[in-house]
Structure 1
Amino acid sequence: MSDAFGKPAGGSTPAGDAAPGPAPDAALTADERAELERLRAQVAARRRRIGWRSPLAVLLILVGCVLMPLSVVGVWARNQVTDTDRFVANVTPLAADPSVQNAVADRVTAEIFRYVDVAAITRQTVDLLAERGLSPLVANQLRGLSVPLAGAIRGFVRDKVGEVVSSDRFQGAWVTAVRVAHEQMVAALSGEGSRSVSVSQGVVSINLGAFVAAAKDGLVSAGFTAAERVPNVSPQFEVFSSRDLARAQDAYRLLERVGTALPFVAIGLILLGVYVAPGHRRALVGAGLGVAASMLLLGIVITLLRTAYLDRLPGTVSATTAATVFDTLVRFIRAGLRTVLVVGLVVAAAAFFTGPSATAVRTRHGFHTGIGWLRQHGEAAGLRTGPVGTWVHANLTILRLALVALAGLVFVFIDRPTGKDVLVLAALLVVGLAILEFLARPPHPEPAPTPAGPV
């Protein structure tokens, strides 16, 4: 028997014909259909949000990573201008550097012998002795010794000046002069110049008048009274020279103005990008790696600038001394970029290993398994945490967050943190988390009663 549509009664179909599947929504009730439409609307809205959030997050994080190197340089420039102690700490090692000491000693010695002509003094002395009856043969021999005698005296003077320059007195005078001349140095870096530190035709030079006077007093005290002929002079010691100094000074002034706000802008953009991103953890991993890469790029740029600067030095400037001065001035930048680089890598690693990837899950599983093995063997040896372990297990999440917050506070309050400090804090944080896992003892559930017979 067939129904009105020609199909066999009972819902059977002829052999070889495929049974048509029911429509997806045909068997749904009104409530189920409403729930399906609501879920479809949520999925569509989520897709629309992801559509604009991902590019915006990438843009924000990228701009923040680009601003991070400028922030490091800006903070350095700002500290050199506003913090006298940091500025003095930055340039004080120059006084103890052998290459700088040798260059200063050579410059001071040359300045002294501009006014003390030993050969001329020797000839005048021999002529005077000849007039008073000295044998002509002896006088001629003495005249022939004037050149070697001048070289020997020059070596003596150079040694005495070197002793003065390498003494604690010189280093103390250097520190005092640097501290007093801080404002003048800032004026020189900004292109304004001063009496103590001047900028002329792309060359930064320091006034050595005070050091010439100290060397003069030392020579006179040592018996070399000819040094009294040296007047009160102010020779210039060239320590920095570059054809691009004007542009560097413009960049310095710009960074000095924005040095305070730029780090907060960069960090704020990165955090906003992580917040806007659909996947916060993945965005945090990318942000950490991006910050580390930007610091690596900054290090490469500093190295290239150093090479270009040394290649453009004029012949009057010692390359060794100039390299020492450059490395001393940028050492705080290098220390800062290393710290930020390590922070970026630590943040990226923490975000990755707390994520749902297979590697992260296996790592956490191995960590928990190892801690559990230690806990079991400790309990077997009589080491039980008791109610403390139960309380730690009940508040484990809060304790973890508190430990992370404590590590963050310690990092914030460290004066001039280094990359080593970051690694030590990260290692201590991991050890602290492991101790919490070891102490956390889940309460043992009561065993289920065994049924007396078949139910």
Structure 2
Amino acid sequence: MNNSEAGEPLNATERAELERLRREVAQLRLDQGAERPAAAGVRPSRVTDHRAWRWTGAGVLLVLVAVLAFSSVLARYARGEVLDTDRYIQTVTPLAADPVLETELTNQITDQIMTRLDIQTLTAEALTALTENAPRVPPAVVGLAPVLADQAKSFVHETVGKFVASDQFEALWIRANRKAHEVLVAVMTGQTRAAVQIDEQGTVSIELAPIIDNVQTKLTERGFAFAEKIPEVDKSFVLFQSPQLVKAQRMVSALDKAHTVLPLVTLLLAAAAVWAAPKGSRRKAFSLVGVSIAVAMVLLAVAISIGRAIYLGDIPADVLSRDAAAAMIDALVLPLRTAVRAVFLLAVVIAAVGYLTGSSDSAAAVRRGFTRAVDAVRAPKTGRAPNPVETAVATYRIPLRVIIIAIATMTLVFWKYPSGLVVMVTILLAAAALLLVELVARPAMSSSAPAVGEAAPQIPGKSS
């Protein structure tokens, strides 16, 4: 008499044998199902053709899933960074303290001030007047004008640098970027007015006039007399420039309209791909859904890198230095790269779940190891009957799994801007909930199979 006949819990060896028998029975039933058409006068090749057609349909749907996953991430990015001003400001605010951007701004503002003041000419005129009115001053002092101009430029550069590194500049930076982004949104959504335009080069810039006005005040406070002669400056600092920006208006507008629908359509097509797969292969199809999404994210990551290289190669050096352009584009695409990593991680989890729940020997070995580990933690004490909670969880563990996975999926779909951290925490919480279900259900599952609605398998040709 074995443990099952004695009403005692199955040990690990017996449960492994039970699982093996169940797989054999399932395979026998599949084989018998494949033989029935032949017995009814239908050619076996038709069964093969039917499976091939189903895999073809599933394959087409998987390609569509990859394409829509690619588009969904771009759509959410377009909505979050290109058209959401508040989100954009959160992205570019840290750039106010970026050393590369600080240096670029300091150099450009200093050049604008020195160009408009022409301090060398003003100094030479002042020294010439001094020699004419003070006979004891030798005319040679006029030759000091270039030296004094260099000293003045260093003084201006230092003053500008201190201001650019101040909190006051950060406030101006945010205000200027907000105005520039509102212009961008107006262009990309087709709401351009005469006063709201981006040139043919697709240049998005911020005005330097408010910053130079503040620098002028700082120079005056430090006793730089020439500061009062600084004229009004109608100059802008280029944030980014791309001739394709205006051309992308229709695409961005379409992505904006589809940013909510695309993820839902992607989920529906993924479910359809799993359904379209032949019976017995749907877990494999589920795993392939994860693989297709992961491939789409890899392609999107490659596209981002290529686009970045093309942008840096096209922007003129006299408009924005390569280092400054790199800092700007890296900051702007950082949320997109974060989203790509997050979705890729989710796709890998989906593929792993599909594989581990499959019928391959390696997956079965992993599941046996997991079962042993859970048994080691929650093996029931001899003679103890499972309590009602354990029995209920064991009975409804499959619906509970579905609910947990559905909640995790909906969380990621409807989270406005899911970061890699959000995805990681969601996955870990879902995994912890699934593990809790297994731990709670284990005593009832180990006590006896019929207790949780799992009748012992019937071997064909043998009575029970």
Judge same fold: TM > 0.5, yes or no.
yes
Q: How many residue pairs end up in the alignment? A: 407
CA offsets 1:268-298 (integer angstroms, 9 cap, x no match): 3232222222132111111111110110111
Task: State the Cα distance separating 1:315 from its structure 2 match.
Answer: 2.8
The alpha-carbon distance between structure 1 residues 199 and 406, as it changes in their structure 2 partners (threshold 3 A), is same
Residue of structure 1 aligned with 2:350, choices 347, 351, 354: 347
Moved more, 128-137 or 271-280: 128-137
The alpha-carbon distance between structure 1 residues 55 and 302, as it changes in their structure 2 partners (threshold 3 A), is same
The alpha-carbon distance between structure 1 residues 242 and 258, as it changes in their structure 2 partners (threshold 3 A), is same
Q: 1: distance between equivalents of 2:401 and 2:348? A: 20
TM-score between the two structures when normalised by the length of structure 1: 0.79
Equivalent position amino acid for 1:356 in 2: S
Task: State the Cα distance separating 1:105 from its structure 2 match.
Answer: 1.5
Task: State the Cα distance separating 1:247 from its structure 2 match.
Answer: 4.5
Equivalent position amino acid for 2:100 in 1: S
Identity of aligned pairs, percent? 32
Residue equivalent to 1:112: 113
Gaps of 5+ in 1: 1-34, 446-455
Equivalent position amino acid for 2:146 in 1: V
Q: 2: distance between equivalents of 1:365 and 1:238? A: 61
Contact kept? 1:184, 1:194, Cα under 8 Å: no
Residue equivalent to 2:336: 333
The alpha-carbon distance between structure 1 residues 406 and 253, as it changes in their structure 2 partners (threshold 3 A), is closer
Q: 1: distance between equivalents of 2:80 and 2:310? A: 25
Contact kept? 2:200, 2:246, Cα under 8 Å: no
Q: 1: distance between equivalents of 2:384 and 2:178? A: 60
**Larger helix fraction of residues:** 2
Max Rg structure: 1
Residue equivalent to 2:227: 227
Q: 1: distance between equivalents of 2:58 and 2:47? A: 16
Matched, 1:148 2:147: yes
The alpha-carbon distance between structure 1 residues 201 and 427, as it changes in their structure 2 partners (threshold 3 A), is closer
TM-score between the two structures when normalised by the length of structure 2: 0.78
Aligned runs of 1:37-436 on 2, under 5 Å? 40=40, 49-80=50-81, 82-137=83-138, 139-140=139-140, 142-188=141-187, 198-242=198-242, 244-245=244-245, 247-249=247-249, 251-278=251-278, 279-316=281-318, 317-376=320-379, 379=381, 386-412=387-413, 414-436=415-437
Alignment partner of 1:346: what SS? Answer: helix
The alpha-carbon distance between structure 1 residues 386 and 336, as it changes in their structure 2 partners (threshold 3 A), is same
CA offsets 1:387-413 (integer angstroms, 9 cap, x no match): 543443344334333433443354456
Q: 2: distance between equivalents of 1:162 and 1:350? A: 54
The alpha-carbon distance between structure 1 residues 146 and 389, as it changes in their structure 2 partners (threshold 3 A), is same
Task: State the Cα distance separating 1:37 from its structure 2 match.
Answer: 7.2
Equivalent position amino acid for 1:155 in 2: S
Q: 1: distance between equivalents of 2:327 and 2:234? A: 23
Q: 1: distance between equivalents of 2:189 and 2:411? A: 36
The alpha-carbon distance between structure 1 residues 193 and 292, as it changes in their structure 2 partners (threshold 3 A), is farther
Q: 1: distance between equivalents of 2:357 and 2:288? A: 14
Gaps of 5+ in 2: 1-34, 449-464
Q: 2: distance between equivalents of 1:388 and 1:95? A: 57
CA offsets 1:78-118 (integer angstroms, 9 cap, x no match): 23354322122122222222211211121111111122122
Q: 2: distance between equivalents of 1:415 and 1:85? A: 13
